[in-house]
Amino acid sequence: MPRTALLVSGALLAALLPLSVAAHAADDPAPVPVDRFEGEVPFAAQPADGIFTWGSDADDPPTLHLTDRSDAPEGGKVLTGTYDISGYGGFTHDFAAAEPAHDWSAHQGIRFWWEGRDNGRKIAFEIKDGGANGEASELWTTSFTDDFTGWKQIQIPFTDFVYRTDYQPVGGIDHVLGLTGMWGYAVTLPAGTKGDFAMDDVELYGRADQSLRASVSTDAPVYPVKAGGTAEIKVTLATTGDRPVDDPVTVTYATEDGTATAGRDYTPTAGTLTFPAGTASGATRTIEVPTRKTRGAAPARTIPLKLTVTGAKAPAETPQVVVDAHGLPYLNSRLPVKKRVADLLSRMSLAEKAGQMTQAERGAVGTGGDISTYALGSLLSGGGSTPTPNTPEAWAKMIDGFQLRAQATRFQIPLIYGVDAVHGHNNLAGATIMPHNIGIGASRDPRLAEKTGAVTAAEVRATGIPWDFAPCLCVSRDERWGRSYESFGEDPALVQSMETIIQGLQGRADGRDLGRDDKVLATAKHFVGDGGTAYGSSTTGTYTTDQGVTTVTRQQLEDIHLAPYRTAVERGIGTVMPSYSSLDIVGDGQGAVKMHARGDMINGVLKDRMGFAGFVISDWNAIDQLPGDYATHVRTAVNAGVDMMMVPYSYKDFSGMLADEVKAGQISEKRIDDAVSRILTQKFRLGLFEHPYADTSGAAAIGSPAHRAVARQAAAESQVLLKNSGGLLPLKTSEKVYVAGSNADDLGNQTGGWTLTWQGASGTHTQGTTILQGMRAAGGNVTYSKDASAPTDGYDVGVVVVGETPYAEGVGDVGNGHSLQLSAADRAAVDKVCAAMKCAVLIVSGRPQLVGDRLDEVDALVASWLPGTEGEGVADVLYGKRPFTGQLPVTWPRSESQLPINVGDASYDPQFPYGWGLTTLTDVPRGGTATLKALGAAATAAERRGDDRAGRELVTKARLLVQQKIGDRMTQTVAKPFADADHLLLTGRYGKAVGKLIEAYGAA
C-alpha cells in the first residue's frame, strides 16, 4: 500500500491584502526584507545562502527563474516557476549555515506577494526555527488558498504557524517557535496538475507583542472522569526562552453546556486565574470541575471549559471534561462479545457508524480534534509517518493522545490504530528488522516464521499499536513486480506453509490471545491475485506491473491465488485487505475489474464461502481508482464488502458521502450494520474498551538482544547457497578476505523498502549490523574496499556483496527505473575481485538478479535477499557458525525474456530452479539411484502413516544427493522435475517428491 508523508497545512491565511494595502501601521517598525528576488540570493543549497528546489522524485522539483516583470510589486524582478508534481515538490530559501541564524522575534509575521491563478489550490508555506542550519531545524507550517487573480500580498502572523507533525528533519527540537533562531522558509506547491506561479518581496512586518512569546496551554484537550468525580485541568504559562512575562496574563474560565446538563451532570464553575508580571515560564494553575453522580445508565457527556486569555496566546482549542459512559451493557466485559456488539450497535447513529468505517492518516488529523468530531473509528501511520522523536515512548504518547480524543465521543468507542509492520516494527527507529518475506520463504522454516511474527507483534503492541497490516500472502509470479520481496514465494504451497506467522502475530486462531500485550490483529493482503499482475498491464502512473491486471482461469485462481486465503481464514486472520489490482477471470464475461469492486470475491468467496468473520479494510485511497464519481466509488466498495475505508486525507468526504448514500437507499442499513459489527467485534476482542491506552511494559524488549537473536537466525536461514565450487564456503577466520561491493556495508540497502520510510533508503538510518560488520565481529581477517579500488594482491578469498538499492511497490517495478541487472559499479567490482582471487558473490536484493554472464568467474554465489538489521546472521553462515540451509522461494531466471517463469511451467529452463539450495556443514548421503529409490519407499511409507517430519527429512536427503550430482550442469530436463519435487514436498506428497528427484538425477 503506498505511503507518502504528505505535508498537511496548519492554520489558514490571516489576510489576503490587495496591492493598495501595502503601508504599515505608523508605530510598526519598517519591514525587513527576506527575499527581493533581484538576484541578491543565488540558486544554491546548504551550506550557502540560497534558493533550491526539491521533490519526491526526479521530475517533481519545480523549475525556477528570476524574471523581469514590469508589474513586479517590488523592484524589477520576481521569482517565477513551473511545476508538474506527482508526489510532493517545492522550493526553499535556507540562510547561510556559516552565518548566525536570523532573529525575527521583533516582528509580528511574514508576508510576500503572490500572483493568483484562482485555481482553488492550497499552497503550504513553512518557516524554519532552531537547530544547526536550515536543514536541521524545526518546521512550522501554514497554508493559503489561491482563490484570487493577480497580485495580492499574503500576510501571515507568526501565531498562525503550527508545528509540522508529519515530517521533521531532525525529529524535533523543543516544539517551540522561538523566532530568535530562524533559518529561512519553504513553499510546497500543489500536486496533481501542471501549474505555474510568480512570487515577490518576502519580508517581515509588524511589531511583536507578548502573545508571540507567551502562551497558555492545558495539559490535555479531554478530561474523562467517572460520574461524581472531579476533573482537574492544569493551566500552564510558557514563554520563548523561558523568560518571565513582562505583563500580567489572565485566564478567565467558565463551564458551558455541551452534551452535559448543568446542575444535573456537573456543578457549574467559573473564575479567573492570574499570572502576574514576572511569572516564570512553566508556572501552573489548576481548575477543578466537579461532576455529579446520576442514577441509571448513560452515554458519555461533555462539558466544555471556555478559556479567555489576555496577555498571551490562548490554547488552540477549548478543553472538554467528559463524564464517562456508565451502566450500559456493552461496557460489561463479562458479557459475550456478540451481545456487547449488538447492544452498542443498537445505540449508534448513522453518523457514528459511518465514523467507525472510516480510517484517517495520523498526519491528516493534526492533534486529533476531528477524531471526536467525526467519530472516527481508526487511524494509521503510512510508511514514514512517525512521531517526533521516533521513539517507543513518543509512539505510545501519540497514540494515547489520539485515544484520549475518542473518549470525547458519545459511546467512547476506542480507535484501532494500524501500521505496516511488514518485517518487524519497521516504522520505528531502533526496532528489530526481520528479513523481508522472500527471505523467510527461503528459510522453509514455519516455526521461524511464527517466531518473527511474535517478535514483531510484541514490539508493535508495546508502542500502543494493536493492528498490523501484515502478512502479505501474495503468490509472486513475476519478479519484475516491485513488491515481489513481500511474498514468501511463487508457490502457493510455500506461502501457506509460512502462514504460521499469523499465529506469531495474533496468537491462537480463536482470537483469545488478542487482548495480550504482545499480540496484534493481523491482516492478510492483498486479496486476491496481486502477485499475478501481468508486466505492462498497470495504468498507475509509471508503474509497469504493480496494480495491474491478473488474468487467470477459475482453476488457476483457486489453486494459486485463493489458496493462501483459505489457510489464513482457518488460522483466524482478523482483517483482510483487497488489492489495488484488477482481476480478469477468463470466461466470466466481466473483463478486468478492480478488486475493491468485486463483490463476488469479497462478499461471495471470502466472507460467504470461506466464512471469514473479521473485517475488510481497503488499501490506501484505493476507492479513488474505481470508475465513476465519488458517490459511486463509496457505494461500489461498501456494497462489494469493504467494511472500513482507508481514506487518509479525505476522511470527511468519505464519512459524509457514506451517510448520504445510506439515506438515499444506495447502501442498505443492514450492510452498514454488518460492517460495523465486524469492526466492533475485533475492538472488543483486542480488549480496547477496557484498555484503550498503550501498555508499554514490553517496550524494554524493543530491539533487545533476544529479539535480535530471532532476526539473526532468520537472516542466517534465509541465505541460499546457489554455487560453491571447491567448497569455498564456509570461510575460515584465518583466511585473508578482501570485501567489496555496494551492499557490504550499507544497512539501508540490506533492510530494503518499508524501513523507516515507505521506499526505504540507503545508508544508516536505524540500529543494526551490516554484513561487513558481521564478518568482522565473527573474527574474520577482513579488508574492505567498496569499489574494489584497493590493491587485490595477497588475499586468500574475495567476498563481493552487490545487489539492489531500496524500493517499494510499483516504484520498484522493473521498467520503472529498475532492472534485474547489477549496476555497472557492482559488475566492475565482481570482475576485478573474481579475476584476482577465488571469490564469493553475495546478492542482497528483493528478487533474483541476472548473473549468468558472470557465473563462470564466480566460485560461490549466495542469494542473500534482504536480510534485515542483523548482518551477523549472514556472517554466521559465511564463517560456518551455522550451515547454509536456505532454498530458492522463487525461480532464478537465466534472462529477463524468460519472465514470468515459475515452478510447474510446461517450459522451464532457469539458471537455478525453485527449491535449489546447497548446504554446508551437513553430510550429504552417498549412493545413486538405488539409494534414492530406498529413500522414496521410506518417504511413501511416512506419508501413509502421516509422519510429516520423517517425510520431509527423507525428501531433503534425496534433494541433497541429487544436487551434489547436478553441480553446475543445470539443464531444462534436470530443472523441471527438481522444482516440481519441492512443490510436492510442500503439499505432503513425499513419495512423489522423491520420484521427481530420481527423474532429475537421471537427467543430470
> Could you list the active site residues?
619, 809
Query: Which residues of 371-511 form beta strands (DSSP E)?
Result: 378-381, 416-419, 467-468
Cα gap 946→957, rounded to integer Å:
19
Residues paired with 892 in a beta bridge: 912
User: What Å distances lie between residue 106 and 161, 176, 208, 480, 604, CA to CA?
Assistant: 16, 16, 5, 57, 66
Q: Which of 112, 93, 81 is nearest to 50 (CA)?
A: 93
Closest CA to 378 of 334, 349, 413: 413
Across the beta sheet with 230-239, the strand order is 214-218, 230-239, 284-290
- The three cell numbers of residue 333 are 466485559
Dihedral sign from CA coordinates of 692, 698, 700, 705: negative
What would the DSSP string read from start to end of 890-925? S-B-S-GGG-S--TT-SS---SB-TT--B-SSSPPP
Q: Cell 511463487: give the residue.
A: 490
Helix (H) / strand (E) containing 149 = strand 149-157
Q: CB of 686 within 8 A of CB of 511?
A: no
Across the strands, what pairs with 251? 273, 309
Give the N- to C-terminal CA distance of the chain in Å, as an integer.
44
Residue partners of 511: CB distance under 8 A and separation at least 6? 572, 574, 685
Half-sphere exposure of 924 (CA within 13 A, CB side): 16
Instruction: Read off φ and ψ for residue 260, nearest 5 degrees.
Output: -90, 160
How many other C-beta atoms are found inside a 10 Å radius of the C-beta of residue 988?
A: 15
Quote the distance between the C-alpha of residue 583 and its chain's center.
Answer: 25
Kindly report the three-state secondary structure assignment for every residue of 947-980. CHHHHHHHHHHHHHHHHHHHCCCCCHHHHHHHHH
Measured CA to CA, the distance from residue 142 to residue 994 in angstroms comes to 67
Amino acid (one-letter) located at 801: V
Which residue bears the cell 472510516? 358
**Residue 631 and residue 623: Cα distance in Å, rounded?**
10
Q: How far is it, in rounded angstroms, from Cα 634 to Cα 630?
A: 6
Q: Count of residues for the chain?
A: 1004
Number of H helices, E strands in the chain: 23, 38
At 628 the three-state DSSP class reads: coil
Place of cell 514590469: 70
In whole angstroms, give the CA distance from residue 62 to residue 188: 10
Distance (Å, rounded) from C-alpha 751 to C-alpha 867? 6
Our measurement of the distance from residue 731's CA atom to the centroid of its chain's CA atoms, rounded to an integer in Å, reads 38
Do 451 and 710 form a contact (C-beta atoms < 8 A)? yes
Sign of the CA dihedral running 335, 336, 342, 348: positive
